Amino acid sequence: MAFFHNDAKVHVYPVNVGKQGVTSKDPVLEQKYSRDNKVVNVSLSDSLLVVSTRTRLEFRWLGRQSSEPKIEIPHGGWEPSGLAIHEDHSAVLVSIGHHRQKKGSREGLVTLYNVKLHTAETGSDGVTSAVIYNSRSKQSYILCSTSASTERYVSKGEWPFASPVTATGEEAPSTSVHDFDTLQNYRYLIAGAVSSLANIYAILEKTGQIVILRLTGHEEGGICSRDEAPHKVKASLCGTNSPRASTSCMQFDPSGERLFAVDPEGTLLVVTFRPEDGS
């Protein structure tokens, strides 16, 4: 991540360093500030953006849903000055300097904030299914669905992902392993199916909702989902009050054009796709 700011706005951008140099997409955060609350300092860690304005200190989570509340702490009668941030695996330590004039003298103050990154995790089962996708270039990939914990955003784990299958069994290069982070609003995923012909990855959520990702090649190698919102299948299977579905309850037929899904109550759902050029 990289950030740019002046006294009226803060922009945070995702940054990739690859074969074609440094590239960036649209900002993941754009925040404007009023004249009465101008930006003084900004600091960034892997999980947290900290903005010190004239009136308060703001903590904003990176990568979390937009509904995640930010933390705001007023400066009181102090003027903000220096700002520093350090993150380890369990917490973010933020240090901010303050000063003020009092009875003809200048006072200084340094305040430390310890922001915990992890709380008790709920609903985490890790990887729930694995399917093989064969690209037109004869490269095989393994696509995994996951049941993500409530702490996925800060633990950087348990995202659904795609990884090349190497002939030697060695670990694939990190640049060719890609998370399906467009599924950030779908936390409990229990099954997946893939069509190499239609370049479609279908994923079943615990609620019975089936979501569809269209696959494409990544510029740094490997495959990923297209830069678009997942498509929801209008019909759905039984929901959370019914017995848990099997990880093999959803399959494409040999043509790769039809998806069959069945739930524990016997509901059969068939979805037809048009074949596309492979990646």
Which of 67-76, 185-194, 222-231 has maximum average pLDDT? Answer: 222-231
* pLDDT at 67 exceeding the cut of 50: no
**Top mean-pLDDT range of 53-62, 152-161, 182-191:** 53-62
Residue 12 neighbours by CB distance under 10 Å? 20
DSSP assigned state of 188: B
Question: Are 132 and 112 within 8 A, CB to CB?
Answer: no
Query: Rounded to whole angstroms, how far apart are CA atoms 271 and 198?
Result: 12
Which 3 state secondary structure label does DSSP give 36?
helix
Residue 235, classed as helix, strand or coil, is: coil
- pLDDT tens column, 71-123: 888 988 888 988 999 887 667 889 999 888 888 888 898 999 887 765 555 55
Residue 71, phi then psi, degrees to nearest 5: -105, 130
CA distance 124 to 80: 41
Q: Which three-class secondary structure state does DSSP give residue 163?
A: strand
What integer is the mean pLDDT of 39-43? Answer: 93
Average pLDDT, integer, range 16-23: 63
In the predicted structure, residue 50 carries a pLDDT above the cut 70 = yes
Provide the percentage of residues in the chain whose pLDDT is more than 70: 81
* Eight-state DSSP code of residue 11: E
Q: Which amino acid is at 58?
A: E
Q: How far apart are CA 212 and CA 183, in angstroms?
A: 10
Q: What's the confidence (pLDDT) of residue 277? A: 43
Other beta carbons within 10 Å of 160: 26
Transcribe 106-119 into DSSP letters: EEEEEEEEEEE---
CA distance 1 to 130: 30
Residue 124: the pLDDT is 58
Residue 9 has pLDDT above 80, yes or no: yes
Mean of per-residue pLDDT scores for the chain: 81
What number is the average pLDDT over the span 186-193?
A: 82
100, two tokens: 């003020």
Instruction: Report the relative pairing of strands 48-53 and 56-61 from DSSP bridges.
Output: antiparallel
The rounded distance, in Å, linking the Cα atoms of 211 and 188 is 12
